[in-house]
A = this chain, B = another copy of it.
C-alpha cells in the first residue's frame, strides 16, 4: 500500500467515491425496472395473472443486478485505492449493467420470443465481459501495490459456469425461449445458493 503522498503522485484515489457512484448507478438501475411494469387492464385476479411472467422477469433481472452489486462489493473491498484504469473499467461495467433494464423491457414487450431472450442472454454476457475487465484492472492494481491476488477458486468457477450457461442460452432461445430463461435463472441460483452454504463452514473452521 502506498502512502497518501505517493498515492497522489501515482494518480491513485480512495475507493469511496467509486463505491458511492457505483452504488447510486446500480440502485437506480435496479429500481427503474419497476417502471416498466404496467398495471393490467383486466380487473381482479385475471389482471394479476397476466402480470406473472413480467413479475418473474423483473425478479430475474433484479437478482442479476443484485448479485453483481454483491460481487462488485467483494471486488472493490479488496483494494483501498483506484487508478484511472479501474475508474474507466468500472464505468464500462456500469454501462453494460444499465442496459439490463432495457433488454428486460425488450423481453417483456416481445413476450419472450426467441430473439429477445437471446438478446437478453447476450446483454448478460456483455455485463460479465465488462466485469471481467474490471476484475483484470483490479488484479493489475493489486500486483502493482505488491499485494497477492487471491480470488477464491469457487468464485472463479461460478464465473465460468455462468458464462457457459449464458452461451448455451443464446442458441437454445431459438428453439425453446423458456428453457433459455431457465438456464439464465439457474445462473442466479448458482450465485445465491452456495454462498449461503459456505458461510457456516468457514465459521466452523474458524471457531474450532
* A interface residues (Cβ-Cβ under 8 A, vs B): 6, 9-11, 13, 16-17, 19-21, 23-32, 34-35, 37, 39, 43-45, 47-48, 59, 62-63, 66, 69-70, 73-74, 77, 83-85, 87-88, 91, 94-95, 98-99, 101-102, 105-106, 109-110, 113, 115, 119, 144, 192, 195-196, 198-199, 202-203, 206
Can you list 12 A-B contacts (CB < 8 A)? A24-B26, A24-B27, A31-B98, A32-B32, A34-B102, A39-B110, A43-B110, A48-B119, A62-B95, A84-B195, A85-B196, A88-B192
Supposing A27-B28, A106-B39 touch, asked if A199 and B95 sit within 8 A by C-beta, the answer is no
- In the complex, the count of this chain's copies comes to 4
- Contact partner of A21 (CB less than 8 A), chosen from B27, B45, B84, B85, is B27
Residues of B within 8 Å of A206, CB to CB, are 6, 9-10
| Chain B residue, CB-CB nearest to A88 | B192
> Are A11 and B102 closer than 8 Å at their CB atoms?
no
Q: Quick one: closest B residue to A203, CB to CB? A: B10
Using known A-B contacts A9-B206, A10-B206, A45-B115, determine if residue A199 contacts B31 with beta carbons closer than 8 Å. no
